[in-house]
Structure 1
Amino acid sequence: MNVYSDISCIKGVGPKARENLNKCGIFTVIDLLLYFPRDYKEVTLYGNLNDANNKEEVIINATLLEIKRDIRTKGGKVLTTLLFSEGENIFKCQWFNQPYMKNHFVIGNIYLLKGKIQIYKGENTLINPSVVKENILSKDTSLTRSIMPIYSLKEGVKNKLLVNLIDQVLKEISIEENLPEEIINRYKFCSLNKAISIIHKPKDINELHEAKRRLKFQELFTYSLKTLLLRNYRNKSNNGTAFKIYDEVNELMSSLPYELTNAQKRVITEILADQKQSRCMNRLVQGDVGSGKTIVAIIALFNIVKNGYQGAFMVPTEILAKQHYKEMLKILDAFNVKVELLTGSTTKKQKEKIKEDLKAGNIDIIIGTHTLIEDDVEFYNLGLIITDEQHRFGVMQRSKFFNKGANIDVLVMTATPIPRTMALYLYGDLDISLIDELPPGRQKIHTYCIDIKKKDRAYNFAQREIDEGRQVYIVCPLVEENEDLKLSSVEKLYNELKQSYFQNIEIAILHGKMSSKDKDAIMERFKSNEIKILISTTVIEVGINVPNASLMVVENSERFGLAQLHQLRGRVGRGQYKSYCILLSEIKNEVTKQRMETMVNSSDGFYIAEQDLKIRGTGEIFGLRQHGDEGFILSNLAEDMNLLKEANKEAKYIIKSEDENYKQLINYIYNKLQNSSKYICFN
């Protein structure tokens, strides 16, 4: 057995167990070892049952005295009871509708039992306990704490199965160390093998903290090496295309019905300067909501087309793809540029024709969703790829897209507000441009936070806006009602509002579970002002442009990240009308209050992102916590910023070093990059 062996090589994993483990993403031994617990439960190990509290999870070392006869309760359940002794204490273990349990026990044998204790009239009972295979109580310990791992489970995979399989693997194999010894000593890290063992079987919280610190550093160090290597390779490489800058670019900019902002002009200049160089462009354009990133993308694509190359523009949703397509057709109408749209809802016949034309070079610019990365989509001469809202595509999706052309320019665009210092680390392989100015005429969005109990004020105001001829968005965190979460859902709110506030007003719902055809139909009716109120999930957060919409109401706004609220708020204020955002919130603590005040008092996305970091210190900023993406499993780039800085510093030192061992490590990492390794940070 080695880390790359199929999961079926582990004793106890038959065809059915293998199939169930595969559903959890566990295909190999390394998948299993890196399937880290999602949480931990502290369990008390008692040598004396008298120390236990009612309803506490306990582990008891006990001897079986007697197997009682099964009885049937009044409710019809079969009750199985066994008597155990622990020192001088006698207690019961009981199972409901599990009569087979008594077959696992032999009178006189000692068992380590785990379960929840119930104390009633001085009598102790363990309800539905399980048997712990190994005696983890030391002989002289009267009271110890044990931390039990809790894993994310799917049907057919129990926590106990994962614990047993991981325990078995940890006894049989050792994971090779791949951090330089100097770094391990400098930061007093434990070994990689020990850290992985501890994270599955921690003895205490301090040990768990140190293991996590070691593994997070491993991820961040390798990530830093990866981005720095890519940047170095790109800077030294001259295998890109040095494009000419055509005069028609200025003609296109002059033909626009509006004046570009100075920030847009600066970023366009930076992009065109990249296109003139013989090294491939690899640039991130950050711009707040409504800052005008799309026209920057169109100008970049236009110059590539004038050079005889094709451009591709990939966006995360069909609604956004169609919106960009229409805008591009309008802007490029007089410049003889062939633009086409390819999405999941494109008919089979249309798809075949588009793919033929794309391969033959008859299409200049293709706009689409993830459909663009399908294997049978081929380009004649691809020169530039633009991805919008990059964090919505997985790293494997992006790499597939980039492999469709040799030495192509890459432009990444995002409206996600990421503080600049963090962006430098997060996108270390990219040059960064910032559109930090909004076009003139953008309406200020007046934002208010109202207690959710006073929501009638928000809906009365919505009625006033509709009477003025405007339209309204209402955003909910859920599509359907959930008994466990007392939150507003699209479907429930639609029924409530239709029967109360807005009986005679056209209302529609929009969410991600709807078909593309239905979503498009709803959006077209909303854009044409047939629908007055659109009740939606966050599917509207990216790029939707309806100038007549002047009010957004967000239900349970405390459930959203501030960056997400800022993106949602950006759907209004896009026309000539005074615009508003009302945050309905259940403010239960000071943190929620601070967050809502930040939204009310600021319209600067980057400031909002920084405040969210200061207030909460965790990764609500979109794109920063991408489990499974970029090889991260544990790291949260928002809360692990200091560790990232240290990892980045060590990575820079190693890349500059002439040490032969470091050069071998760099080659090792680079080869993993070339192979798009799933666990680049660990294997």
Structure 2
Amino acid sequence: MALNYNDILNKPVQYVKGVGPKRAAALQKLNIFTAGDLLYHFPRSYQDRTKILPVHSYGDGQVATVLGRVLHAQEIKPRRGLTIVKLAIDDGHGVFYAVWFNQKYVIKQYPPGTTLLLTGKVDRRFGGKVQLQVLDSEIADEPEQAVHGGRIVPVYALTEGISQKIMRTIIHKALEQTTQLQEYIPLTILEKYRLPALVKSLRDIHFPEDDKGVHQARRRFIFEELFLFQLALAQKRQGLKRIPKSHSYSQGEGPLVKKFLKNLPFEPTADQIKVWGEIMQDLDSPYPMNRLLQGDVGAGKTLISALVLIKAAEGGLQGAMMAPTEILAEQHYMGLSKWLTDLGISVEILTSSTKKAKREEILAGLSRGDIQVLLGTHALIQEVVEFKNLGAVVVDEQHRFGVKQRQALQYKGKLPDMLVMTATPIPRSLALTVYGDLDLSVIYSLPPGRKPIKTYHVTHRALPEVYRLIIKEVQQGRQAYIVCPLVEESDSLDVQSAVDLAEELSQGPLRHLSLGLMHGRLSADEKEAVMDRFRAGSIDVLVSTTVIEVGVDVPNATVMVVIDADRFGLAQLHQLRGRVGRGSQRSYCVLVSNPKTEEGRQRMAAMVNTSDGFALAEEDLRLRGPGEFFGIKQSGLPDFKIADLIRDRQAMECARQEANHLVRHDPHLTMPQHQLLNRQMQHRFSKKAFHST
């Protein structure tokens, strides 16, 4: 009978032969607590030690693997604190010396007559006497049974107290206990993707017979890891869809939605129409919507959010929209309130800057149901904010919020429909990972009439020319942004602050223009006053930090200058560039930097060569990796052991399809053939390890 899964993989690692309490404590630093964790501590690389040759076949400095018999031992103490042990070894073609430093125990461990398999560095500097500085050694009466030589040898990530030799030995011992380990991935999936079985894969990834074995085993464990993660996501998504919501809307497009669409001064794009159809289907469903809407800068996500809020109000429900900054919340309020009040829908905005009397008035109106749509910032999730009947929630620039913040807004209602939006294009491979529990909609196309933004990369020496471009645009009635990375000077970063630059420009090259200053340390009222003046055109040039990265919409602005642009990621640069080009005039983005690294130069080239946010996101992910791509702890990225989100995107797609199919037929994985799979999923992506966003 096959050994039980728990008996093998869940056994505490200290009970693996050769481990014990002391080594178990050291292994915990590598997050190895069980035999399963040990077996899933995969090699980081391999060394080919398959060729066993006489030592004279190797040149000085080469790494050799040699089989020989111990003749005698010699101990030398050239100075205090140093002991050199030399064993004379006969490899059948001559005698050489195997050398160890400060390892006296080898004399007793390898007495004369012992057959050794040795790997080490050849040293021919001693008057023709060849020495081998030993890296690995083992008794090899049967060389084919060797662990550390005569084969492809695994190389592992280590911690203090655990050497390569110890790690190989204990993993080899653990593998001996897995010969009857039960498979947990369905056989049909293994056959479909030509993946090897679990026991063979474990053996081949640690102690492969050839490169093909390693490759196939890695394919299996990459797929397994992604499949288990996608199962966890699919279960969560399925769970959300099985709880009926208490509210409902009038089916399809009601009179208010139709009136709104009819009165628009433009035609929605094909992508907007498609996405609205997907969302309307969700809203009309008896289960709550949980959807992510991606759209490049200026793609028209605000129109979609307006439709969601209108449909809620039309159904006698309330809608809420949360934005990460007061500037963005105010921007949404200015745009949406006009659309919605024209339809007779009452709209208010609530932020931390809302005055006390107004705040109390809003809270009372909200709890009575008089306010149909509430826009705002984190202020929306405070305990005192109570909705009478919250039906739809929109979260803009969702990556700026943590999981708990979004959930707190959802808890203001009884399973309200949730739409989260982002203008940061996310590669599909990453979106399927981080937001796999959400349905995904994408707006690719931009509204007609938008002219491409001309992007240039220049060095700081070209700044006088850049300022001349700004002056020329202002003389034609346009406006400009100049963005700096920091508010104040930093000793650690050679960047110019917005405060100092604004002062320098107002007295220098832009002294004849009206300059404004915007940064995160201004109060909310001060920020709004600056933005009001910029929108009204009384400020020609706004010098700012990245506080204006998201949501600021001033169609008259045609120039974006980014100082020290190489210090920004591609996604952020693309967001900044999206602040211009929002009107019908030709717009310009100038990236000023002297990149010192190849990655910095590649980022500048990518910005100049493409305006496609999704292409830039792929490049950003390739250059910086998924962690830096988001730059926040709430990203929900799992700690993958072997899978790579960029390299293995195709495997991710396949894993998602298979997981969705399996969960549709066995939502809780309770069928007998799926119980081991469920246990492995729970262990690998438990609630502790798996954070949905």
TM range (shorter): 0.5 to 0.7
Deviation string 1:228-262 (CA, Å, 9 cap, x unpaired) is 66777777875463224775667777999x75744
Larger Rg over CA atoms: 2
Deviation string 1:624-671 (CA, Å, 9 cap, x unpaired) is x9997368543345533443455456557656879x999555688789
* Map of 1:300 onto structure 2: 308
In structure 2, do the counterparts of structure 1 residues 218 and 443 end up closer, same or farther at CA, with 3 Å as the change threshold?
A: same
Query: Equivalents in 2 of 1:467, 1:520: separation in Å?
Result: 29
Give, as a single letter, the amino acid of the residue that structure 1 aligns with 2:74: L
Q: Aligned Cα RMSD in Å? A: 6.5
Q: CA deviation at 1:300?
A: 2.0
Q: CA deviation at 1:148?
A: 0.5
Equivalences, count: 622
* Map of 1:85 onto structure 2: 87
- Which of 167, 171, 178 does residue 184 from structure 2 map onto? 178
For the 8 Å contact 1:285–1:434, the answer to whether it is kept is: yes
Query: Equivalents in 1 of 2:362, 2:63: separation in Å?
Result: 62
Give, as a single letter, the amino acid of the residue that structure 1 aligns with 2:560: L
For the 8 Å contact 1:287–1:434, the answer to whether it is kept is: yes
Query: Equivalents in 1 of 2:348, 2:131: separation in Å?
Result: 76
In structure 2, do the counterparts of structure 1 residues 47 and 83 end up closer, same or farther at CA, with 3 Å as the change threshold?
A: farther
For the 8 Å contact 1:282–1:411, the answer to whether it is kept is: yes
* Map of 2:92 onto structure 1: none
* Map of 1:147 onto structure 2: 154
* Map of 1:446 onto structure 2: 454
Query: Equivalents in 2 of 1:373, 1:669: separation in Å?
Result: 38
Deviation string 1:471-529 (CA, Å, 9 cap, x unpaired) is 323679xx999xxxxxxx8x223399989x9786799xxxxxxx975798997798666
For the 8 Å contact 1:21–1:157, the answer to whether it is kept is: no
For the 8 Å contact 1:43–1:147, the answer to whether it is kept is: no
For the 8 Å contact 1:112–1:135, the answer to whether it is kept is: yes
User: Within the alignment, does 1:331 sit opposite 2:331 as a pair?
Assistant: no
Q: CA deviation at 1:214?
A: 0.5
In structure 2, do the counterparts of structure 1 residues 84 and 237 end up closer, same or farther at CA, with 3 Å as the change threshold?
A: same
User: Within the alignment, does 1:215 sit opposite 2:221 as a pair?
Assistant: yes
Give, as a single letter, the amino acid of the residue that structure 1 aligns with 2:495: L
In structure 2, do the counterparts of structure 1 residues 138 and 240 end up closer, same or farther at CA, with 3 Å as the change threshold?
A: farther
Query: Equivalents in 1 of 2:677, 2:187: separation in Å?
Result: 17
- Which of 606, 613, 624 does residue 605 from structure 1 map onto? 613
Deviation string 1:363-391 (CA, Å, 9 cap, x unpaired) is 9647556x989999997755334344556
For the 8 Å contact 2:460–2:593, the answer to whether it is kept is: no
User: Within the alignment, does 1:459 sit opposite 2:453 as a pair?
Assistant: no
Alignment of 1:481-560 (within 5 A): 491-494=493-496, 517=521, 542-543=550-551, 548=557, 550-553=559-562
- SS in structure 2 at match of 1:493: coil
* Map of 2:171 onto structure 1: 167
For the 8 Å contact 2:14–2:24, the answer to whether it is kept is: no
Deviation string 1:259-279 (CA, Å, 9 cap, x unpaired) is 574454664455345323323
Segment drifting more, 628-637 vs 8-17:
8-17
Query: Equivalents in 2 of 1:619, 1:552: separation in Å?
Result: 27
Segment drifting more, 518-527 vs 325-334:
518-527
* Map of 2:477 onto structure 1: none
Q: CA deviation at 1:287?
A: 1.4
- SS in structure 1 at match of 2:446: coil
- Which of 413, 418, 438 does residue 410 from structure 1 map onto? 418
For the 8 Å contact 1:386–1:412, the answer to whether it is kept is: yes
Alignment of 1:182-581 (within 5 A): 182-196=188-202, 198-199=204-205, 205-222=211-228, 239=245, 241-244=247-250, 259=266, 261-263=268-270, 264=272, 267-268=275-276, 270-301=278-309, 303-304=311-312, 307=315, 309=317, 311=319, 313=321, 318-319=324-325, 322-328=327-333, 331-332=336-337, 335-341=345-351, 365=374, 367-368=376-377, 382-389=390-397, 406-417=414-425, 431-439=439-447, 442-448=450-456, 455-456=459-460, 458-468=462-472, 470-473=480-483, 491-494=493-496, 517=521, 542-543=550-551, 548=557, 550-553=559-562, 566-574=574-582, 578-581=587-590
Query: Equivalents in 2 of 1:9, 1:233: separation in Å?
Result: 38
Q: CA deviation at 1:179?
A: 0.9
* Map of 1:485 onto structure 2: none
Query: Equivalents in 1 of 2:641, 2:284: separation in Å?
Result: 39
Q: CA deviation at 1:163?
A: 3.7
Deviation string 1:410-454 (CA, Å, 9 cap, x unpaired) is 22323344678997999777554443443466452112456xxxx
Percentage of identical aligned residues? 28
Q: CA deviation at 1:166?
A: 7.1
Segment drifting more, 358-367 vs 216-225:
358-367
Query: Equivalents in 2 of 1:81, 1:41: separation in Å?
Result: 31
Deviation string 1:133-179 (CA, Å, 9 cap, x unpaired) is 8668963798654230236x7xx797769947973893597565311
* Map of 1:65 onto structure 2: 74
Deviation string 1:540-598 (CA, Å, 9 cap, x unpaired) is 7655657647234486869956x665445334434666212448687999x99999776
Query: Equivalents in 1 of 2:470, 2:240: separation in Å?
Result: 53
- SS in structure 2 at match of 1:294: helix
Tell me the TM-score normalized by structure 1.
0.65
For the 8 Å contact 1:391–1:622, the answer to whether it is kept is: no
- SS in structure 2 at match of 1:492: coil
* Map of 2:515 onto structure 1: none
Tell me the TM-score normalized by structure 2.
0.64
Structure 1 residue runs of 5 or longer lacking an equivalent are 72-78, 95-101, 482-488, 508-514
Query: Equivalents in 2 of 1:676, 1:356: separation in Å?
Result: 42
In structure 2, do the counterparts of structure 1 residues 412 and 51 end up closer, same or farther at CA, with 3 Å as the change threshold?
A: farther
Query: Equivalents in 2 of 1:33, 1:377: separation in Å?
Result: 50
Query: Equivalents in 2 of 1:30, 1:145: separation in Å?
Result: 23
Structure 2 residue runs of 5 or longer lacking an equivalent are 1-5, 90-94, 111-115, 475-479, 511-518
Segment drifting more, 421-430 vs 648-657:
421-430
In structure 2, do the counterparts of structure 1 residues 493 and 423 end up closer, same or farther at CA, with 3 Å as the change threshold?
A: closer
Give, as a single letter, the amino acid of the residue that structure 2 aligns with 1:492: D
In structure 2, do the counterparts of structure 1 residues 337 and 259 end up closer, same or farther at CA, with 3 Å as the change threshold?
A: same
Query: Equivalents in 2 of 1:401, 1:107: separation in Å?
Result: 70
